[in-house]
Amino acid sequence: MQDQHLTKTTGPEEAPSIIFDKVSLNMGDRPLFDKLSMTIEGGLCTCILGPSGCGKSTLLHMISGATSLPYEGSIQIESKKAKNDKIAWMSQNDLLLPWLSLLENIILGAKLRNEESASLRARAGELMEEAGLAGYENALPATLSGGMRQRGALLRTLMEERPILLMDEPFSALDALARMKLQNLATKLTRRATVLLVTHDPMEALRMGDRILVLSKRPCRVQSLFSLTGIPPRNVDDPEIQAHLSTLLSQLMDQR
Ligand SMILES: Nc1ncnc2c1ncn2[C@@H]1O[C@H](COP(=O)(O)OP(=O)(O)OP(=O)(O)O)[C@@H](O)[C@H]1O
């Protein structure tokens, strides 16, 4: 059901690649990026791991253009759509408006643009059903658990139907079980979009990613790239996870 909607709006032809070409940026008096070149493949989930302060969140901000940082080089998004119409953002704070019901929060973007309609509400209802939130349409955020609020935030992001999703540690505030459930849901509902997920959790990256980029300490460069072949979300005992986990962990330990 949801896949149909997502195919229509975030199909492969709509999910662009993001190309960094010799991107340099100083933060303070030191380079954060020094001629960083890499390609984020369209239509795949790329997870980014790396030491604290190496510039993971800054990369997402540079792609979104939300903050104008004085970088050199280029970041190209291969899409016919205008930038505002192609990127959605999700972070670890759910940012639900406390005075609106969960449903009103989920359709907030359309409400603000005066695009609310019966079909839009129906679509939100379908997504809520899929996310196990049916029956909570009128609940205020304060009456919901952290996992439910974060599921609501995920649905609000998906309702925007953007081909690029930038996710900055979206599940880090959740307990292990809620996190795993939300990883499964997010993977299912964002299939075919270009997803860039910043995380500190190697298992999350191995469960959700088609590709994993390990970044180095400042100045940030791509230290290694893992290409995974199976279809996410992977179970924790998936052979592909077992094959990569120790290599990934030892690389991350070496960076500390
Ligand atoms: N507005 C700013 N002014 C100066 N330095 C900044 C600013 N914002 C971030 N930085 C610095 O840029 C570097 C990269 O920050 P960023 O938040 O992108 O790192 P990160 O890899 O996401 O870190 P973490 O994993 O801890 O969230 C850090 O050293 C940070 O101190």
CATH of the domain at 56: 3.40.50.300
- Cβ–ligand 1 contact at 128 (below 6 Å): no
Domain boundary (161, 182, 210) is at: 161
- Cβ–ligand 1 contact at 48 (below 6 Å): no
Range of the domain at 129: 98-161
My answer on whether 80 and 167 are in the same domain is: yes
- Ligand 1 centroid – CA 100 distance (Å): 32
61 falls within a domain: yes
248 falls within a domain: yes
91 falls within a domain: no
- Cβ–ligand 1 contact at 69 (below 6 Å): no
pLDDT at 94: 82
Structure letter (DSSP) for residue 55: S
238 falls within a domain: yes
35 falls within a domain: yes
Which residue, judged by its Cα, is nearest atom 26 of ligand 1?
52
List strands edge to edge, sheet with 18-27.
Answer: 30-40, 18-27, 72-77
Nearest-angstrom CA–CA distance, 37 and 71: 13
- Ligand 1 centroid – CA 235 distance (Å): 32
- Ligand 1 centroid – CA 24 distance (Å): 15
My answer on whether 156 and 168 are in the same domain is: no
92 falls within a domain: no
Structure letter (DSSP) for residue 124: H
pLDDT at 75: 93
My answer on whether 111 and 226 are in the same domain is: no
Torsion region of 90: left, alpha or beta (phi above 0 gives left; psi -120 to 50 gives alpha): beta
pLDDT at 141: 96
Nearest-angstrom CA–CA distance, 23 and 74: 6
**Enclosing H/E stretch for 24:** strand 18-27
My answer on whether 170 and 145 are in the same domain is: no
Our count of domains for the chain comes to 2
My answer on whether 52 and 110 are in the same domain is: no
- Ligand 1 centroid – CA 191 distance (Å): 29
pTM equals 0.88
ipTM here:
0.94
pLDDT at 55: 94
- Weakly modelled stretches of the chain, pLDDT under 50: 1-12
- Ligand 1 centroid – CA 32 distance (Å): 9
My answer on whether 69 and 169 are in the same domain is: yes
pLDDT at 84: 58
